């Protein structure tokens, strides 16, 4: 797994956007989006990792496309992860998880 690109799973509401305005879409969080773009330029894989579904998910994906936010996968593992682990679990594999509601257990 280590020889493959870094994978970042990023939340939408409150992370890519500045606030959690669900079901609406909040204002873009330029600081996070710029960092995502930089990570993509370094070769990272970006997974949109969100609870949105249906129409709200389509709107989030359109928002990302319109704002040049690099998304490689949405709520699913990268193809090489499925091959590496001989299948696909419900958990999204990533090297980093970006979320406004996260707690780093190393800080506890």
| Of 54, 52, 68, 45, residue with least CA distance to 20 | 52
pTM of the model: 0.90
- The sign of the CA dihedral 95, 101, 28, 24 is positive
Whether 2 shows a pLDDT value over 60: the answer reads no
Name the nearest CA neighbour of 46 among 73, 67, 26: 73
What is the mean pLDDT of the segment spanning 73-78? 92
* pLDDT given for residue 31 in this prediction: 97
| Six-digit token string for 76 | 């699913």
Instruction: Flag whether pLDDT at 1 surpasses 60.
Output: no
- Give pLDDT, residue 68: 98
Which tens digit of pLDDT belongs to each residue from 14-33?
Answer: 999 998 888 999 999 999 99
């Amino acid at each position: 797994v280590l020889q493959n690109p870094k994978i970042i799973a990023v939340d939408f509401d409150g992370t890519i956007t500045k606030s959690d305005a669900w079901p609406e879409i909040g204002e873009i969080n330029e600081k996070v989006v710029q960092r995502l773009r930089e990570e993509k330029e370094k070769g990272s894989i970006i997974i949109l990792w969100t609870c949105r579904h249906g129409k709200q998910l389509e709107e989030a994906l359109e928002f990302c496309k319109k704002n040049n936010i690099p998304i490689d996968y949405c709520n699913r593992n990268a193809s090489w992860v499925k091959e590496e682990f001989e299948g696909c679990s419900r958990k999204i594999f990533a090297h980093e998880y970006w979320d406004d509601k996260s707690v780093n257990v190393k800080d506890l």
